[in-house]
Amino acid sequence: MRQKKSVFNRTFIITSDLILISIIVYFIPDEEYANFHFLSYILIFWLSIAYYTKFYKVYRYTQVSILVSLVLSQFFIFSLAFLSYFTVFREGEIINNQVLLFSLIIGFITFFKFSIFFLLQKYRSEGNSYRNIVYFGNPSSSKKLEVLFHSKNKWGYRYFGFFSNNSVDSKKYLGHTKNGFKYIEQNEIDEIYCDSSEVNFDQLIKITKYAEEKKLQLRLLPKNKAIYSKDFILEYFGTTPILKPKPLPFEKIETHLSKRVFDIIISTFVCLFILSWLLPLLWVVISIDSKGPLFFKQKREGINGSQFLCYKLRSMKINNDADNVSASKYDARITKVGVFLRKTSLDEFPQFFNVFLGDMSIVGPRPHMNAHTKKYTNEVENYSLRHSVKPGITGLAQVSGYRGEVVKDSDIKNRVRLDIFYIENWSFFLDIKIIAKTFFNVFIKEEKAY
């Protein structure tokens, strides 16, 4: 729960800044500023510039000099956007109180930012909002960390001690490296630090995997200040270099925001301009072919284990095995119309309703029926990681040949492997590529399209 406070603090600060700017604008008794057009303009640009300058990327170990640099960068670029408003919309006209308004925004935001920064430091120095830390490495590096965190108590770190492959006579020695995970769970550790030269490669892989599963922060002490991988960011705790793993795409709020905006636009278009006339036609065809409802609804597992009703066009006769047995080649349950619907993937189109409602995304790991989810969670390594994002109508695994029935173990393992690759390497262009390939696959005969 302690780690979630940093997210809350950042959200609170961003919201407070936006409210403060709005109050300052309306404080100036001038209709040129106190209107929705101007206010929305500067708030949107404020957030956009803050994202670019990383204005809100302030951590407990951030130095004052870095904070000053962030403030100067933010206000320099914001001043250009601020003045551009009058150049573009008022043709360069001089409006009263321009300098006053901008000066008030600079003054109050700067005062608020530094006040929060120093108040949080004081709050942490009194033993509040702390992070528990353990270290995997040698005694000499451990001593340096101990001295660092003791001297910087305003950062709010509690150093418990270290684990080593060799027994050491030290009060801070917690035991052998192999016993570290048990200790971490028993003592609510928040962050793990590792000496990359002391811990062997296999142990480092296990520690990294454990940190990801338990959602713990992992930091590496690089040898000779070297950066070993493009997947790490070099930071400094005082003068001590620390390697911090880069956040995965779905750990960034902007990823979820951009995907959601894209999902809403596309799903709205499909629902209004395609499904509005296609569904009545298909309802007639499906009703003539076999008795039963137009839609097939089934509970499936979504993001973070949440349950939702997944919609499909009914392509089978009514049967008792629908929730337990997936379709197979020459499946007698599939209707004549159902064969066409499945071959063309038209049976999946109602899932655009799921996308619009927010249960699914257009691109993501395909949701499996609950019976299969329970089975594969226990049998396939890292299967549950698929549920860290919204399920999709289509996905990387599906366009790579791993759709439909799971015939052998390698089918589901490769599907999970590709789903995890998608989660770890997401980009907007990857989504576009998957959508384009899904559309192309409709016109070719796929082996597992049944």
Q: Are residues 143 and 96 in the same domain?
A: no
- pLDDT per residue as tens digits for the range 269-310: 999 999 999 999 999 999 999 999 999 999 999 998 899 999
pLDDT: which is higher, 208 or 115? 115
Q: Are residues 147 and 189 in the same domain?
A: yes
Q: Which of 246, 268, 295 is the last residue of a domain?
A: 246
Least confident of 233-247, 336-350, 413-427: 233-247
Q: Are residues 90 and 200 in the same domain?
A: no
- pLDDT per residue as tens digits for the range 96-130: 788 889 999 999 999 999 999 999 999 998 888 88
pLDDT at 148: 86
| Best CA proximity match to 290, nearest among 359, 216, 248, 340 | 340
Q: Are residues 117 and 209 in the same domain?
A: no
Q: Are residues 138 and 178 in the same domain?
A: yes
CB 115 within 8 A of CB 141: no
- pLDDT per residue as tens digits for the range 121-167: 999 988 888 899 999 988 888 888 888 888 888 988 999 999 988 88
Task: Name the band, by pLDDT with cuts 50, 70 and 90, for residue 214.
Answer: confident
Mean pLDDT of 313-334: 88
Q: Are residues 37 and 121 in the same domain?
A: yes
Whether residue 447 is contained in a domain is answered as no
Identify the domain containing residue 160 by its residue range: 131-246
84: left (phi over 0), alpha (psi -120 to 50) or beta: alpha
Task: Name the band, by pLDDT with cuts 50, 70 and 90, for residue 421.
Answer: very high
CB 43 within 8 A of CB 78: no
Q: Are residues 95 and 9 in the same domain?
A: yes
Whether residue 450 is contained in a domain is answered as no
pLDDT at 264: 96
Whether residue 448 is contained in a domain is answered as no
DSSP label of 446: -
Q: Which of 125, 160, 193 is the last residue of a domain?
A: 125
Q: Which two tokens stand for residue 438?
A: 């899904």
pLDDT at 242: 74
Whether residue 449 is contained in a domain is answered as no
Task: Name the band, by pLDDT with cuts 50, 70 and 90, for residue 2.
Answer: very low
pLDDT at 419: 94
| Best CA proximity match to 109, nearest among 78, 134, 153, 154 | 78
pLDDT more than 90, % of the chain: 50
pLDDT at 7: 56
pLDDT at 77: 93
Whether residue 212 is contained in a domain is answered as yes
Mean pLDDT of 10-16: 89
Q: Which of 201, 220, 246 is the last residue of a domain?
A: 246
Q: Are residues 49 and 170 in the same domain?
A: no
Q: Which helix (H) or strand (E) holds 213?
A: helix 201-214
Evaluate if residue 219 carries a pLDDT over 50.
yes
Distances (CA, A) of 57 to 1, 43, 114, 192: 20, 18, 14, 21
pLDDT at 1: 39
Q: Are residues 82 and 27 in the same domain?
A: yes
CATH number at residue 149: 3.40.50.720
Q: Are residues 15 and 151 in the same domain?
A: no
Q: Are residues 312 and 297 in the same domain?
A: yes
Whether residue 93 is contained in a domain is answered as yes
Q: Which helix (H) or strand (E) holds 204?
A: helix 201-214
Task: Name the band, by pLDDT with cuts 50, 70 and 90, for residue 227.
Answer: very low
DSSP string, 124-165: HHTT-S-EEEEEES-HHHHHHHHHHHHHTGGG-EEEEEEEES
Place of tokens 């700067």: 110
Evaluate if residue 31 carries a pLDDT over 80.
no
Q: Are residues 151 and 227 in the same domain?
A: yes
Whether residue 446 is contained in a domain is answered as no
Least confident of 33-37, 349-353, 445-449: 445-449
pLDDT at 96: 78
Total of domains in the chain: 3
pTM: 0.65
Whether residue 216 is contained in a domain is answered as yes
pLDDT at 450: 56
